[in-house]
Amino acid sequence: MRYPQGGGLTAERRAFRERIRMEAAGMFAAGQVNTVMAKQLRVSLRSVQRWRADWQDGGRQALQSKGSAARPKLSEALFTVLEQELARGPVAHGWPDQTWTLARIKTLIGRRFHKTLTLSAIAQMLHRHGFSHQVPARRALERNDDAVTGWVKDTWPPGGSAAAALDGWIVFEDEAGFSMTPPTSRTWSRRGHTPVIRVRGRSRGRVSVAALCCYRPGERSRLIYRYILHDPHGGHTKAGRRSFSWTDYRDLLSAAHQQLGAPLVLVWDNLNTHRAVSLRNWVAEHDGVTVVQLPV
């Protein structure tokens, strides 16, 4: 591979090639012919011819590695600064969305370091430093990480104890909407670290799915779900909704309770429908369902 990661030879690869050339120098001194050398060294005949011309002009020293072909325009120290700026996100630098493109990175380099690089040079530099072009993950703007930490510490332990006391199932519920159009935008980030962009925690998908992930010690896990298919021309369900109503959740929980045959400790978020008065009254009237609400 001549240009690993699109960014020139590594030090190890340069050293390997130099060993091949030094071996060729010994074969030149021994009087071997080019065609035999090319076969033994597993290189092209043209390479052997070029090495022989250099060897005749300057000896073994002419075949030694001269190091990297060119020094990078951004030093390691400057790239560290660039990585910090990239981590701040495009919005912090005045762009309207949260994806990095080569053109934006080029502009950022010009603003921050007063240097000009071509788009291909920027791509090679990013690849050399372990970056790749990725589809980012999505995280809701409404998420409050401090509230989540407090919930895990204070609220959830009683919920887990309730499931054990009732000999019931711990049930995690969530819903999602899906469209038939896959995401197309990508952004640059270090390989192995999927970038995350902040988006509205709502969906206008053509298919809505609500699912229960059910767990109890000594039992295999269960997945119980319901889905709604929306009109392909942008219409709604028969009830005039694009999402589940409180009666849909009621029916899903009733079916799960009947199928599992044991009390449910339900963990779900603060979706408006989850907090509907009718649904809360129904839960209060049924001893088989205990609700643990996730943090707002």
Over residues 141-165, the pLDDT tens digits come to 667 777 777 776 776 666 556 666 6
Residue 209 backbone phi and psi in degrees, to 5: -130, 130
CB atoms within 10 A of CB 113: 17
Would you mind telling me the total number of residues written for the chain in this entry? 296
Strands ordered across the beta sheet of 289-293: 222-229, 207-215, 169-178, 264-268, 289-293
Give the span between the Cα atoms of 70 and 124, in whole angstroms.
13
Are 255 and 281 a contacting pair, CB within 8 Å? Answer: no
- Cross-strand bridge partners of residue 139: 198
Residue spans per domain, the chain: 4-63, 76-129, 143-293
Residue 168 confidence (pLDDT): 85
Q: What are the pLDDT digits (tens) for 150-204?
A: 776 776 666 556 666 678 899 999 998 877 555 557 788 888 888 877 766 554 5
Band of the pLDDT at 15, cuts 50, 70, 90?
Answer: confident
pLDDT at 232 over 60: no
Strands 187-190 and 169-178: unpaired
Q: Compute the distance between CA of residue 175 and CA of residue 173 in angstroms, rounded to an integer.
A: 7
**Lookup: tokens for 21:** 């050339």
Calculate the alpha carbon distances from 55 to 25, 38, 44, 181 in Å.
7, 15, 17, 60
Q: What is the mean pLDDT of the chain?
A: 82
How many helices (H) and strands (E) the chain has is answered by 10, 9
DSSP structural state of residue 265: E
Q: What is the pLDDT of residues 41-56, one digit of tens each?
A: 999 999 999 999 999 9
Contact 252, 212 (CB under 8 A): yes
What's the CATH fold of domain 143-293? Nucleotidyltransferase; domain 5 (3.30.420)
Strand partners, 292: 267
* Separation CA 63–CA 190 (nearest Å): 36
